Amino acid sequence: MTMHLVRGMTSINTKKRRQKKQPGHAASKAKHDKWLMDRGVHPSQLKKAEKESGARIPDYAATSSTIKTSDVVTPIAGKRKVQEYSGDYITGLATMHKSNTVPVGRGSDPKICGQMRRS
């Protein structure tokens, strides 16, 4: 049995290597840190700030009287009426070729259905 890699893994080596910094990296990092401090979102400022999840439980007592609700209960619909043929043209149903059910009308010859022919 051979060793296989997990999908997405390109090598077995998981050792993290440190990247070499380009010249001028320290100056650009200092400029970026100053920019973050001006906006109040630097990591050192965020640690001091009080953390909020953003999700608060609403005060239902204050809003309960302002929301209009309806006390109308709609009626429950009953069973549908079954559609039934009330005419006198169709006299019955016949089985034709390959279990094809066809209506037999008044004036049509029932022998055609008995011979099992396609029309």
The pLDDT tens digits for 9-56 are: 666 677 788 888 889 999 999 999 999 999 988 888 888 777 777 777
Is the per-residue pLDDT at 62 higher than 90? no
- Dihedral through CA 60, CA 62, CA 66, CA 72, nearest 10? 30
pTM metric for this prediction: 0.31
Mean of the pLDDT values across residues 87-111? 83
Sketch the domain layout of the chain as residue ranges.
Answer: 89-119
With contact defined as beta carbons under 8 Å apart, do 36 and 47 qualify? Answer: no
DSSP state of 54: S
Assign residue 40 a region (left: φ > 0; alpha: ψ between -120 and 50; beta: otherwise). left
